[in-house]
Structure 1
Amino acid sequence: MFGHLRFVAACAAVAGLVAVSATTATATATAAGNPRPATHHNPGLQQELEALVHEPGGPPGVIVTLKSHNALSVYRAGVADLATGRLPGQYDAMRIASVSKAYSGAVALTLAARGVLGLDDTIARWLPTLPAAWGRVTLRELLQHTSGLPDYSAEPAFHAVLIADPHHVFAPSQLLSFAAAQPLRFPPGTQYQYSNSDNIAVALMTAAATGRTYEQLLNALLYTRLGLYRTSLPKGYKMPPFYMHGYGVRDGVLKDVSTEYSASASWASGGIVSTPRELNTFIAAYAGPRLLPESVRQAQLTFIAGSSEPPGPGTNAAGLGIFSYSTRCGVVYGHTGNTSGYTQFTAASPDGTHSMTFSVNAQITPNSDQTLFDQMRKVEEDAVCALLSR
């Protein structure tokens, strides 16, 4: 996934942070669909979050939102901002990293449901200026990471531009050009390999098929439809007001890296900014039956062996723009993400009645700290169990 930039340093320890328990009450449900406060509280999950932020190398803060049948519980520990000591909140903006891939999946599958795109439409049909060798790759293969497209974010030329100017604004069409000289990694459809190039191509295909920008499609098909008023795909590096700050170690010093890179560097593959509350809303609709008709949903939920990056809890399998996580407590559908300063996991039950987000403000991967990553993944699975038991 995009946040997995090979040269980004691993995040480091923050000791002695304030760990604050919270099952945050929300407003009573209204006709607008605001969640009501949940009466169920899980002290064990709260203790696990507090332990996670106090681990050597642990993130400064963590927030978990569990929503069941329109009742919301919020658990949080540590801080959203080291400078002020402010707690993480459900309305805090944050970089959702490769969870953005689920949004490009939602746009593409919505267009497929409307007959604007076909899952077997090829790159050659909609993006004829891309390398001819890539032309036979289909939308279905892009969404399931079986395309064989080389990953532009692994290319030295891309890294060189980003290192020289981390705030460089890339044109969406420019991103795949970094990998254009590379052949397909394997014949399309023959194996699974996660690639950031896939969802860039998906978003470009949706724009080509509609004559509208991908950002316009996000707004029309997702933001407006689902009431996602704090969700956006920025071009630059700035964050909106009231955000969860992301942290990482740079030159041996813990720094705020929230605005380290331009979101355009990952665009549809990892650039979206949202909040825990709106992530809950999106994943419940996308993983459940609300957003897509059953015929398209059957294709979306046809899974093959393959894990998200970083891997989510339990056994992972890849669908179309979504992953299945088979945990000890049951199956949920969702996506993970990690980028400079943030690690994300969001999922929902197959019927969409239960949804969750799990967000930390540090980049935690198996490559950066396997022990801490394993602990985080255990807590993620325990959060899934808490969700499904409600």
Structure 2
Amino acid sequence: MPTRVRRFRTGLSAAALTATALGVLLPPAQAAGAGPGAAGGPQDHDKRLQRRLEQLVAQDDGPPGAIAVLTRGDRTQVYTAGVGDVATGRRPDLDDHMRIASIAKAFSGAVALRLVDEGLLSLDDTMGERLPGRPAGWHAVTLRQLLQHTSGLPDYSAAPEFLSILQADPRHLFDPRALLDFVADEPLLFRPGTLYQYSNSDNIAVALMAEQATGRRYEDLLRDLVYHPLGLRRTSLPLGYRLPRPYLHGYDVTPPAEPEDVSQALSASGVWASGGIVSTPRELGTFIRAYGGPGLLSDKTRKEQLTFRPGDSSEPAGPGTNAAGLAIYRYSTRCGVLYGHTGNFPGYTQLAATTPDGTRSLTFSINTQVNKDNKPALLARLRTAQEDFACALLEDR
């Protein structure tokens, strides 16, 4: 969600409020093993990759900390730089909870596509068929178009009333199933299927269609169709503002002011199925290997999932050249192709990607928000670092 309003400090910036998909001394950067099944320690790490991570943290407007996780089969390497908590100096950890931002859209994609596999939804189902109470002008939009951001739905997260509520009370508890009401009087932005425009409204509608098709809450569908099958025990979709402990602290970094902790500054209810999920680097890797690889969906549904629109990027853009599939992106790097998703939210910027065979994954997490609107130069450096890690993942070693 790009930044759209002016910045203020004291608790939370207004820029941070809407940027989701909405002089501190740091200890030396560190590289760490990942525990059981991990590489033996810093001596097993690529020093060039470690320097890349340290350079990001060293930027004046860069994150206080970063963690990148490379998994190849049963071998995991964890690279960290800086800190996951400025107050204590604790470094980022593989099992820290964190806001995964718009990677939550891949989870709503997983739910919807698994229901397609079960015959409870079709990619050609329309909003008119599944959500007849929504504006008549939206009725022709299909599930496929929602998943690929070609629906034309106006983005509720840019609606003046939504922003006004959020700015007055960042921890306001929204009814997530009513988020689309903020734009219910607006027409489609374009004829469905003709253009690409990343919109947080799309995945709210996806979750609502999944609920209509099953008669079950979206949170329960996540549990039964995604968390349990993949053994995700530290992944959740909260509505409030609190994070489970331990967590990677997220910061608003606006030099020359000191980093401002915004980890628990706003509730997840305002982003819900489009950006509210909390997970860990370890579990995010498990998810993306299954969702981007062949482990979660049938071959037929996966073929639809991996039908890409060249040039359409995630938000923020991932490494290399981007193309949009169904709640997943293709990242064509100089070393090969990965499938995955990115996200940004106050205090966090995320990438999760996997090789097409699902045997290798990269998660790359920093604890400040970076996108093309708020920090374009830092985003360019971040994407370069991500591509270097992607190349390391794709190497045969």
Q: 1:326-362: per-residue Cα shift (whole Å, max 9, x none)?
A: 0001000000000100000110000001101000000
Identical aligned residues as a percent: 57
Root-mean-square deviation (CA, aligned residues, Å) is 1.8
Aligned to 2:10: none
Q: Which runs of 5+ in 1 are unaligned?
A: 29-34
The SS at the match of 1:335 is strand
Aligned to 1:24: 33
The SS at the match of 2:295 is coil
TM-aligned CA distance change 1:69 to 1:123, over 3 Å: same
Q: Tell me if structure 1 keeps the 8 A contact 2:70–2:360.
A: yes
Q: Paired residue for 1:141, among 139, 142, 145?
A: 145
Matches for 1:239-250 after TM superposition, within 5 Å: 239-249=243-253
Larger deviation, residues 239-248 vs 160-169: 160-169
Distance across 1 between alignment mates of 2:67 and 2:383: 14
Distance across 2 between alignment mates of 1:97 and 1:366: 16
Aligned to 2:356: 350
Distance across 2 between alignment mates of 1:278 and 1:203: 21
Matches for 1:26-175 after TM superposition, within 5 Å: 26-28=35-37, 40-175=44-179
| 1:316 is aligned to 2:322 | yes
The SS at the match of 1:345 is strand
Distance across 2 between alignment mates of 1:250 and 1:158: 25
Cα deviation for residue 274 of structure 1 reads: 0.3
Q: 1:231-256: per-residue Cα shift (whole Å, max 9, x none)?
A: 00001000101000000058955311
Distance across 1 between alignment mates of 2:177 and 2:376: 35
Q: 1:116-155: per-residue Cα shift (whole Å, max 9, x none)?
A: 1000001011111110100010000000000000000011
Aligned length: 381
Aligned to 1:287: 292
Aligned to 1:272: 277
Q: Paired residue for 1:300, among 300, 305, 308?
A: 305
Q: Which runs of 5+ in 2 are unaligned?
A: 7-13, 18-22
Distance across 1 between alignment mates of 2:40 and 2:302: 31
The SS at the match of 2:259 is strand
TM-aligned CA distance change 1:169 to 1:25, over 3 Å: closer
Give TM-score scaled by structure 1 length.
0.94
TM-aligned CA distance change 1:5 to 1:351, over 3 Å: farther
The SS at the match of 1:63 is strand
Q: Tell me if structure 2 keeps the 8 A contact 1:347–1:355.
A: yes
Distance across 2 between alignment mates of 1:253 and 1:387: 34
The SS at the match of 1:228 is coil
TM-aligned CA distance change 1:6 to 1:277, over 3 Å: farther
Cα deviation for residue 103 of structure 1 reads: 0.2
Aligned to 1:204: 208
Q: Tell me if structure 1 keeps the 8 A contact 2:34–2:94.
A: no
Q: 1:261-295: per-residue Cα shift (whole Å, max 9, x none)?
A: 11010000000000000000000000000000100
Larger deviation, residues 214-223 vs 250-259: 250-259
